[in-house]
Amino acid sequence: MDRPDKAHSAKKRIEPRKRVGPKPVTKDRLGNIALFYLERYASSAANLRRVLLRRVDRSARLHGTDAAEGALWVDELVQRYIRSGLVNDKVYAEAVTSSLRRRGASTRMVKQKLAMKGVDADTVDGALDATGGADEASDLKAAFAYARRRRLGPFGPAAQRQDRRQRDMAALGRAGFGYGTARKVVDWKGDEEEGEPD
């Protein structure tokens, strides 16, 4: 039995498959894309619309799909999912707000993140009220959670606390907390009567 020579075996090497672009968007395919997205991620109506319109635009560029017809399909799908309850901005906003607050997000940061997802201001205010409010006490509680997570102020190294004061204040400011709130957190001694917020 003859062994194949090296030149012959080199020809049999498997060529890497060429990447095939996305398929053209149809109404049914767009519905499947939307359902797959909603299985993986919670979404606001505006965010889902934005995701689906990106797919339509890409299909229009690559395959010549009618973008106007695709936009109508997207609107129909989003309205259908709103009616069925799969997409609910109020529930979405409350879930995101609750999660962000536990991680130490300021009221300003919560409003900004939800606005980026297309949630209107009234829904955001309602979500903030439902998850503890947007008052100074809830912001202070969130600031303590943020400082603990980032090891700022009283939660950082005690030997470097004074040297890091300005940097810690700036970190809290960038996170959306006001000067007074940042100062209370960074200067907290841990032995005050009211103690750290729960």
Residue 136 has pLDDT above 50, yes or no: yes
Same domain, 50 and 120: no
In the chain, pLDDT over 70 holds for what percent of residues? 88
Counting beta carbons within 10 angstroms of the beta carbon of residue 172, is it exposed (0 to 12), middle (13 to 18) or buried (19 or more)?
A: buried
End-to-end CA distance of the chain: 80
Neighbours of 74 (CB within 10 A): 23
User: What digits encode the pLDDT tens for the residues 17-72?
Assistant: 766 677 889 999 999 999 999 999 999 999 999 999 999 999 999 988 899 999 99
Same domain, 98 and 49: no
CA proximity to 164, closest of 144, 143, 178, 185: 185
Whether 76 maps to a domain, the answer reads: yes
Of 87, 107, 135, the residue at which a domain comes to its end is 87
CA 191 – CA 58 distance, rounded (Å): 59
- Mean pLDDT (the chain, rounded): 89
pLDDT at 129 > cutoff 70 = yes
Residue with tokens 């149809």: 26
- Specify the number of domains making up the chain: 2
Domain boundary at 53, 71, 87, which?
A: 87
Among candidate residues 71, 87, 103, the one where a domain is terminated:
87
Is residue 194 situated within a structural domain?
Answer: no
